[in-house]
Amino acid sequence: MAQPARTPDRERGAPADVRVHPSGDHPVGAVDGHRGTHAHLWALPDGTGLHAPYGRLVRDPDSDRVCCHLCGRWFRSLGSHVRRHGLSAADYRQVMGLCRSRPLTAGDVSAAISRRQAEAYRAHPDLRERLAAGQQLARSGQLAWRARSALDVEPPAEHSAVRSDTLRRGRETRDRQREAAL
């Protein structure tokens, strides 16, 4: 029997009836003629099929939506959707290997929330006062120490690497902003 033609999808190891997004991150299109369903290209250790890679939140840059690992549907925010799967947002993050602080929202939603919170912080002195104690704990390192001591287990190494990278980039941004202000 002749081998199917080697398409980019086949080269990635996807089954012949599954199309893979050009980035290789997630399946797209129909499988077995069922419109809107996707094949599971990833799986949890218990065999639960996933529509996105474990430990990674897939965002579609064209529609600015995020993919649900469990059903493959796309949403601007997964926070309330994951309840349909019987999970809280925190449980979903844990099961899917996502960082606890990772927003389950599209980029524009995260940006809008950030803008709204920054405006509230600037506009309300009482809010700044209430947050001052936590900011002092964060600056002194006590907040991180308390959070780590509250954990029962060490976070996975990949989470520590993501956190370190995020902190490094934040420090670089802060340094650039300070230099620009001078």
Q: Tens digits of per-residue pLDDT, 138-165?
A: 999 898 888 878 776 666 777 778 788 8
pLDDT (0 to 100) of residue 31? 35
Task: Give buried/exposed letters for 21-49 (b at 16+ CB in 10 A, else e).
Answer: eeeebbbeeebeeeeeebbbbbeeeeeee
Pairwise CA distance, residues 45 & 132, whole Å: 43
pLDDT (0 to 100) of residue 14? 34
Stretch 56-77: mean pLDDT: 90
pLDDT (0 to 100) of residue 155? 66
Domain stops at, among 67, 96, 125:
96
My answer on whether 165 and 92 are in the same domain is no
pLDDT tens digits along 16-57: 333 344 444 444 443 333 334 456 677 777 778 888 888 888
Are 69 and 50 contacting, i.e. CB atoms less than 8 angstroms apart?
Answer: yes
Domain stops at, among 96, 119, 134:
96
Pairwise CA distance, residues 110 & 101, whole Å: 12
Domain stops at, among 48, 65, 96:
96
pLDDT (0 to 100) of residue 157? 73
With a CB cutoff of 8 Å and minimum separation 6, the contacts of 114 are none
**Domain with 180 in it:** 152-182
